[in-house]
Amino acid sequence: MSLIDRIAALEAEVEKAQARTVEEVERFRVAMMGRNGAITELFEAFKQVAGEEKRLLGQRMNQLKQSAQARFEELRSGISETKPVSGPSIDLTAPALTEPVGSLHPITIVRQRIVDVFTRIGYTVSQGPEVEDDHHNFSALNFPPDHPARDMQDTFFVQGGDLALRTHTSSVQVRVMENSKPPIRTISPGRVYRNEAISARAHCMFHQVEALTWTRA
């Protein structure tokens, strides 16, 4: 095969070169531009070419070498851009997890059981504010002005004594009776607050469930 035919064959090979891995890119470099590569051997044969022909072929051989180097850089860049990200892969088409996470607090479990019992026999569940006014927390329940529950050492008062953290859920029953007509069957579960020392047997906040049954006026 003549030198010009070898140049043409290598030009076509460089143009069609493909690589999917780093190893394949390196094999292309070694095969073309390595110490015993095809282009290196071509330049060795070029030394035997006559003067006039050498001038014409030299330019084309230099272009071949530059094309091979450019193709090598292109293949190497393509591999680095598509290199998989380290770490576990994520399947975006996988269905979402449906298993329950965590568990309910024991107080929540007991409260739900109590609510279930009462709702099965026709009671509703009523809720009210945990920060109550004097009327709903004391006066409407006939607490006299000198009742111990009104003392600062027994109740958490806020805003100068006009409001307090409710001391019982009876205030919810007051609100229900003010806004509803009998028959009424309701329970009022919720947190209540007492100004007590915290110990292994007592806390300043605890849970309470009260039931109200009002059949007729």
- Can you give 3-45 as a three-state secondary structure string? HHHHHHHHHHHHHHCCCCCHHHHHHHHHHHHCCCCHHHHHHHH
| Domains of the chain with CATH codes | 3-81 (no CATH), 106-214 (3.30.930.10)
Amino acid at 38: A
Long-range contacts of residues 100-105, Cβ cutoff 8 Å, at least 24 apart: none
Residues in the chain: 217
As a whole number of Å, the end-to-end CA separation of the chain is: 117
Whole-model pTM: value is 0.50
Tens of pLDDT along 167-180? 999 999 999 999 99
Tens of pLDDT along 66-96? 988 998 888 888 876 555 555 566 777 777 7
